Structure 1
Amino acid sequence: MILTGRAGEGEAGMRLDDGAVRLFPQLSKTRVRKIIDWGGCAVAGAMVRVASRTLRAGEEIVLGVMEPERYQELAYTRDDLLFENDDYLAVNKAAGLNCQRTPYQLKGTVEHAVTLYLRTLGSQEPARVIHRLDRGTSGVMIFPKTKRAAAHISAQLKEGRVEKVYWALVTAEPASDQWEVNAPIAKVGSARYGVATPGREALTRFAVIARGTCGVLVEARPLTGRTHQIRVHLAHCGLPIVGDPTYGGEKAPRMMLHCRAMSFTAADRRPITAEAPLDDPFRDACASRGIILEF
């Protein structure tokens, strides 16, 4: 939820947190301070993270109010990384985290945590988000450490030269062990996509990894990069992902979609590969459906 207000003569000269409480009485001062600290406040169009900042009459104040459970501290150390060299690093994004800053938050996002990690290396480079995972999706995210590396992997992504492997848990039975979906995707709602014409070309290849008593673990390889592509294409096949009610999946502790691996060739011709393990909720969901994973 976004709240917008404008400082008047009564708020002029006040601290930002005190003025915000006057403008938005439904929020406590503690809540306002947390929003400011987490990067969810903008004054006169610029993010402000100092609660004592003095207000001026006429300044617009925008607060991004998110659910209390979304405030999750996030930091990465070298031991947390899936891969690192001079040009790239890879992390295993947890389900429930935003991969990049939103109007609601800066801290607690993967982007911010990677920025902080780069600072520990003495780098002043920003964390460049060159590909995204949905908030409910876990798995590999690769970050370039330099502008040159960012340009290279961005070009590789655009040309379809980055191999991406996802795992998804579904409850319905696929008609075959291998298939592909070549169907255009378009926006069909405020936060919903679907197979529709006209739409953007989208191609995904699927294969069954394991079948259980009441569930199937599916591998997905998207050859294009459309929003919600795997979720939409599986739902289009009558195979909604467990934990994805937006597209007809049954309720679960998390959406059972995981970016298992990413690989590409660096500018110096070295192969770059990162592989992310599954978390316990995903493994438990598989086990409860008779799928026991040995990897």
Structure 2
Amino acid sequence: MDKRLYSIDETLKGVRIDKALSTLNEEWSRTQVQQWIKDDHVLVNGLAIKTNYKSIPGDTIEVTIPELEELDAVAEEMDLDIYYEDADVLVVNKPSGMVVHPAPGHISGTLVNGLMAHCKDLSGINGVMRPGIVHRIDKDTSGLLMVAKNDMAHEKLVQQLVDKTVTRKYQAIVHGVIPHDFGTIDAPIGRDKKDRQSMTVTDSNSKSAVTHFRVIERFNAFTLVECQLETGRTHQIRVHMKYIGFPLAGDPKYGPKKTLKLDGQALHAGLLGFIHPRTNEYIEFEAPIPEEFEQLIEQLRRSKD
């Protein structure tokens, strides 16, 4: 194990220990340092501390850098649909049916496997099974994802998600004909106590969740909508649309059994915009609806005539 020693001077007086360390060593991200602190890899004057510890001049900090864990997943050559790439960020259009990152029992064929073959470097902040992954979309949801190629980019992109400055717009087909043209769903989402694999609108152990939507087109018994995320909770659009009585077509978890013939929910992450972590310029990308999704819309239009 690699051990490093640092001393706190007056310039870092009162600064949180994670920020102080990332200042003393610019190669370390605060998120990375916070994890080391939680794992007791950081000692101040020989004692373990918490991430909110405020530095005192004269403190001696010992950092034990853990050895990198071997990644169980392997690089796999894939024909990835890359929309943008530079030294810091990559934007990829994920097809429906592809899992974003490996998990126990499912360590191949994921987006991460493909990214590992495509990129030499990816951010390590989210751990060895999720290199570069800043946010995710469900397996059966298609669309755009931003990927961090280094820890600096990762931290800044995550902060934008926290600050709600990332633009994320989805197209979805829902059951029912929504009567109003616009709406906002502000309802907290948490784990469903009756089914731990599902999320639900609940007041217990929930987090705030806000989804804005607008109607794009109405059909006989379905509606094409655009949903814009203000927050990014697990299954947020799927849970929120079910909550207001218009569940997604094809959704095996939250939708009705009698639905359109689809392999999963009719949901596409079509627009993604964010501030570039290095240039500080806003960049935006748009991916068209997949062919299967477009064919479904045409089918609904014909049935309407």
**TM-score normalised by length of structure 1:** 0.69
CA contact (8 A) 1:181 1:205 kept: yes
TM-aligned CA deviation for residue 171 of structure 1: 2.6
Letter in 2 for 1:252: K
Letter in 2 for 1:281: E
Aligned equivalent of 1:176: 180
Distance in 1 (CA, whole Å) between partners of 2:87 and 2:302 is 39
| One of 259, 262, 265 as aligned partner of 2:275 | 265
Pairing of 1:115-264 with structure 2 (within 5 A): 115-119=116-120, 123=121, 127-188=131-192, 189-198=195-204, 199-249=206-256, 250-254=259-263, 255-264=265-274
| One of 69, 75, 79 as aligned partner of 2:78 | 75
TM-aligned CA deviation for residue 46 of structure 1: 7.2
Letter in 2 for 1:97: M
Q: How many equivalent pairs are there?
A: 221
TM-aligned CA deviation for residue 289 of structure 1: 0.8
Distance in 2 (CA, whole Å) between partners of 1:166 and 1:151 is 24
CA contact (8 A) 1:211 1:291 kept: no
CA contact (8 A) 1:99 1:135 kept: yes
Alignment of 1:277 onto 2:284: no
TM-aligned CA distance change 1:290 to 1:106, over 3 Å: same
**TM-score normalised by length of structure 2:** 0.67
Aligned equivalent of 1:20: none
Distance in 2 (CA, whole Å) between partners of 1:225 and 1:49 is 26
SS at match of 1:143: strand
Aligned equivalent of 2:41: none
* Backbone CA RMSD of aligned residues: 2.4
Distance in 1 (CA, whole Å) between partners of 2:245 and 2:102 is 33
Alignment of 1:89 onto 2:90: yes
Distance in 1 (CA, whole Å) between partners of 2:163 and 2:188 is 18
Distance in 2 (CA, whole Å) between partners of 1:112 and 1:49 is 7
Aligned equivalent of 2:31: none
* Structure 1 unpaired stretches of 5+: 1-44, 51-72
TM-aligned CA distance change 1:128 to 1:91, over 3 Å: same
SS at match of 2:140: coil
* Structure 2 unpaired stretches of 5+: 1-68, 125-130
Distance in 2 (CA, whole Å) between partners of 1:196 and 1:222 is 19
TM-aligned CA distance change 1:134 to 1:260, over 3 Å: same
TM-aligned CA deviation for residue 130 of structure 1: 0.8
